[in-house]
């Protein structure tokens, strides 16, 4: 169900990109939009993993340096049928973790020193299984593409708004709309793209929770870990880049009420309940 939903949401993002490009410059605008998306996705595909690891000063560790952590990752990778990913540790009190890499052959798992302190071995296994489920499902690539599409749509929407303000949104033979119509549509499209991207992120989190629980063999390990991490992040918040928030197992950014619509993660109570009901 989550996979089908992801396909549908990615289709919506693609259509939004095309429509915004058309609003900006008719048929030629559509071509420009697709070219921009292709270039941005190429860059994200090859360089996003190194950028995010550098952003959080992640340090790669070997088996002698972190034998327990390394052995857990190796065991779970074997169960998942994927290559052994690189293992990183981030010196940060916030208990959190993420996976990155364009595919299972170029994957990395990063954990903070905070998560190593507060979780027992079973709970940490649950977290690592969640991250390796992301790797196996290629969620890192899917999330990166979704974020790139949303960014391209927002950029084009901003250009369309300025074009409308400066008189560039007049009707033309290629199908451009009026100034007011272009301005309103570009704002709606930008918000819609962000909401769709976040919906994709939430959908993949549910899928990774389920996959991780099956991989480790006991859903309660991850459920208990998520409960601890949720409160740990509240106690030791991380100064995280919002563009990378979707990568972490627990949202490092806080928000309640209407802000949940703009959350990269599903509500924690729902994630825990689903796991305990497995």
Could you give the residue numbers annotated as active site?
Answer: 131
Find where tokens 């309640």 sit. Answer: 256
Burial classification of residue 5, based on how many CB atoms lie within 10 Å of its CB (0-12 exposed, 13-18 middle, 19 or more buried): middle
Among residues 102, 97, 118, the alpha carbon closest in space to that of 212 is found at 97
Token code pair at residue 49: 């993993």
* 248 three-state secondary structure: strand
Residues whose CB is less than 8 angstroms from the CB of residue 11 and which lie 6 or more positions away in sequence, other chains included:
none
Among residues 32, 108, 27, 42, the alpha carbon closest in space to that of 69 is found at 108
Burial classification of residue 217, based on how many CB atoms lie within 10 Å of its CB (0-12 exposed, 13-18 middle, 19 or more buried): exposed
Whether residue 123 contacts residue 101, with contact meaning beta carbons closer than 8 Å, is answered with no
Among residues 113, 109, 143, the alpha carbon closest in space to that of 129 is found at 109
* 77 three-state secondary structure: helix
């Amino acid at each position: 169900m989550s996979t089908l939903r992801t396909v549908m949401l990615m289709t919506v993002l693609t259509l939004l990109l095309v429509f915004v490009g058309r609003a900006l410059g008719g048929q030629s605008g559509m071509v420009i939009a697709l070219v921009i998306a292709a270039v941005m996705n190429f860059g994200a595909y090859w360089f996003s993993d190194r950028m995010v690891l550098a952003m959080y000063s992640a340090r790669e560790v070997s088996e002698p340096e972190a034998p327990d952590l390394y052995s857990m990752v190796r065991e779970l990778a074997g169960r998942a049928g994927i290559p052994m990913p690189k293992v990183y540790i981030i010196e940060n009190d916030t208990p959190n973790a993420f996976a990155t890499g364009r595919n299972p052959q170029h994957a990395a798992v990063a954990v903070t020193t905070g998560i190593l302190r507060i979780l027992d071995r079973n709970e940490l296994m649950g977290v690592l299984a969640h991250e390796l489920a992301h790797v196996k499902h290629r969620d890192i690539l899917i999330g990166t593409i979704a974020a790139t599409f949303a960014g391209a749509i927002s950029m084009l929407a901003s250009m369309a708004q300025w074009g409308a303000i400066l008189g560039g949104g007049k009707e033309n033979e290629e199908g451009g709309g009026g100034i007011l119509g272009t301005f309103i549509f570009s704002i709606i499209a930008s918000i819609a793209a962000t909401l769709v991207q976040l919906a994709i992120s939430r959908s993949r989190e549910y899928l990774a929770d389920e996959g991780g629980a099956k991989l480790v063999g006991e859903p309660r390990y991850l459920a208990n870990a998520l409960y601890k991490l949720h409160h740990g992040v509240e106690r030791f918040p991380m100064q995280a880049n919002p563009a990378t928030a979707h990568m972490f197992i627990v949202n490092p950014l806080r928000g309640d009420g209407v802000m949940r619509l703009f959350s990269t993660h599903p509500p924690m109570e729902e994630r825990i309940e689903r796991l305990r009901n497995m």
